[in-house]
Structure 1
Amino acid sequence: MRPAAVPTVPPPDGLGGSGVLYELKLDGFRCVAFARGDRPPYLQSRSGRDLSGEFPPIAAAVARLPAGLVLDAELVAWRNGRFAFEQLLRTRQARAADDTALGLIAFDVLALPGRDVRRLPLADRRRLLLGALADVPPPIQPVMATTDRTEALTWMEQLADTGVEGLVCKAAGSAYRPRRAGQVWVKYRRSETVDATVKAVVGTAARPRAVVLELDDDRVLLSTPQLAPVQARQVAEAVEGRLGEPVRDPDHGSIRPLTALLRAEVTVTGRPPTATFVRLRGD
């Protein structure tokens, strides 16, 4: 099941009236873990690839689980006090050299030994998940989850510095239906509003489609999605007489660099980070 993105965290009755389970959204690889007894464990990626060879400590931990247990989880890396997604993209030798810890954070159970539980309500599956992992040590752990929206929002803010991305919110009465999450599973991604410098525009001076932004930490991002008509008019008026000749940028294609300082307010979200233009700053 893949949650749909939403701009706000739903209320407790907002996903069908059966209640909502709020889970921390972590930055990692989605993974369905199959414990298979005498056979090697299988860590299935979204594309169906087996990740076991790339993450031996996780594979070894799953191998110790009861045969027939199937977990839906996030495979994460932890380094220097925060989640480190980029470490998952490195070789296992490089991770070991950097003292990177790996974890498998389970948020659902799909099967117990000899029993498919996907049709049960999520609230029941959560109880089964906690029972199945009650005596299981790290690196396998259940995700932090609550039915209290205020508590979930507090967690999200308190743990933001560790790299927690946001919340996944799920109808407590929902069955597990692969690829059919619809609006019973949704994800809210925490964003930050920051100031940025407009470095260039994409499109014509009279009708810019987007802007290239430099954040104060030197990240350069293309604003997305396309500027709304009102925003495009605002930018066109502000850049009149401030544009240089078109140049070819290796990342953004044909752009018109600005020849004078222009500041904007943007929201930055996700990984890799994307910037969404909000407005030009009056100062």
Structure 2
Amino acid sequence: MLATPGRLPPAAQDSRWAYETKQDGQRVMVYLPGDGTLLLRARSGEDITGAYPELRPLAAALGTTPAILDGEVLALDEHGRADFQLLQSRMGLAHAPARAARRAAQVPVHLVLFDLPHLDRPLLALPYAQRRSLLTESGLDGPHWSTPAAVVGHGAEALRATREHGLEGLVCKRLDSVYEPGVRSRAWIKIRNLRTADVVVGGWLPGKGRLTGLPGAVLVGQRAAGRLRYVGRVGTGWSDPERTELAALLRAAETGVCPFDPVQRIAGARWVLPRLVGEVGYSTRTRSGLLRQPSWYRLRPDLAPEESAADLPGDAE
């Protein structure tokens, strides 16, 4: 079951919803047949059991009772927050058991459980509140897995808390909602906390198809330690008129020199003089300072390129 992007439920309906922290990890369905084995499947349906050997003891957690659990695999940073970049070093190792074991020792994962579609019988038709109660009563808390509590009501406070603690966002779940496999349901609403940043456009990538002749993405940077550091590519957020306007501005600023330091080698890139400033939204940064999930908000003609400063890794070097 998938969540639909949206906003907090109306205040008058607040008590009809539960609120869970949105985690930045890999969604998994956990199959426990009750015979001492365990199967993990990603959203794609791929068997990823071998990638996470530290989760194998979960196979015996419910004894001989067959169950299907819904959750998220996380890799936590030194502050206890989910770090998707750390997790990427664990993904893709399902068929490399020796490498998976070595990485498990270096970057252990934690499985957060939040739903129970099956427990000795299908629970799909039960309301969320009952499934969540059964999940909590199952006592699934171990060295590498847990069942964090959900908050009923107080949605505005819950969302504010995720922002104050630098978490990815909030998932709102209607207490009476049934479990709908494969459906992106309005009964589950996800709210992503976006940060904003002022960036300098240093290049662009031509679009394809209906975007031929227009920018498919812009290459952006921020000032740090006296140089323009590359922080990523932005390919969403424009209306058609805005994209056309941006294309004209980019052509007028064309140059044959990459303005980023260090120089970026990006296939198909067209470089421009670093004089256009824009505002973007993004979810978080990678450890190297790149923006994750960036989206264009607007041009900032009121700002000079020098004002797009940021504290990026390696500034002191």
Match of 1:123 among 129, 141, 147: 129
Structure 2 counterpart of 1:222, one-letter code: R
> Structure 1, residues 7-28: CA drift from partner, whole Å, max 9, x if none?
x3333566xx982221111111
Residues in 1 aligned to 2:185 and 2:131: alpha-carbon distance in whole angstroms? 19
Letter in 1 for 2:10: P
Q: Encode CA deviations 1:28-64: one digit per residue, 9 max, x unaligned.
A: 1111112233241112222223332221221212322
Measure how far apart 1:65 and its partner are: 2.4
**Percent identity of the aligned residues?**
28
Q: Is the 8 A contact 2:281 2:294 kept in 1?
A: yes
User: Which residue matches 1:231?
Assistant: 242
Amino acid at match of 1:195: D
SS of the residue corresponding to residue 220 of structure 1 reads strand
Gap change, CA 1:133 and 1:256, over 3 Å in 2: same
1:86 is displaced (CA, Å) by 3.1
Query: Using the alignment, how far apart are the partners of 1:18 and 1:97 within structure 2?
Result: 43
- Counterpart CA distance in 1 for 2:10 and 2:57 is 39
Deviation at 1:192, TM superposition (A): 0.6
Q: State the shift of 1:124 in Å.
A: 1.3
CA drift at 1:105: 0.5
Which residue pairs with 1:92 in the alignment? 100
- 1:185 shift after superposition: 1.4
Q: Which moved more, 1:84-93 or 1:186-195?
A: 84-93
Residue 112 of structure 2 is aligned to residue 105 of structure 1:
yes
What's 2:9 paired with? Answer: 10
Q: Secondary structure at the match of 1:258?
A: strand
Q: Structure 2 unaligned segments of length 5 or more: list them.
A: 91-98, 208-212, 259-263, 304-317
Give the alignment of 1:1-283 within 5 angstroms.
1-6=1-6, 8-11=7-10, 19-66=16-63, 67-81=65-79, 82-88=81-87, 89-90=89-90, 91-98=99-106, 100-112=107-119, 114-133=120-139, 136-147=141-152, 148-160=154-166, 164-203=167-206, 208=215, 210-216=217-223, 218-225=229-236, 227-232=238-243, 234-235=245-246, 238-239=249-250, 241-244=252-255, 251=266, 254-269=268-283, 273-281=292-300, 282-283=302-303
Structure 1 CA distance, aligned partners of 2:292 and 2:201? 17
1:214·1:221 contact (CA, 8 Å) conserved in 2?
Answer: yes
Q: CA deviation at 1:85?
A: 2.4
Q: What is the rounded CA distance, in whole Å, between the counterparts of 1:53 and 1:203 in structure 2?
A: 40
| Counterpart AA for 1:177 | E
Equivalent position SS for 1:155:
helix
SS in 1 for 2:158: helix
TM-score, structure 2 normalization: 0.74
CA displacement, residues 112-153 of structure 1 (integer Å, 9 cap, x when unaligned): 2x232111110111111111126x334221134212202311
Does the residue aligned with 1:109 lie in a helix, a strand or coil? strand
For residues 208-241 of structure 1, give each alpha carbon's deviation from its aligned partner in whole angstroms, at most 9, with x where no partner exists.
5542212457343222226324433553565564
Distance 1:13 1:58, change over 3 A: farther
Tell me how far 1:181 sits from its aligned partner. Answer: 3.3
Contact 2:171/2:191, CA 8 A, preserved across alignment:
yes
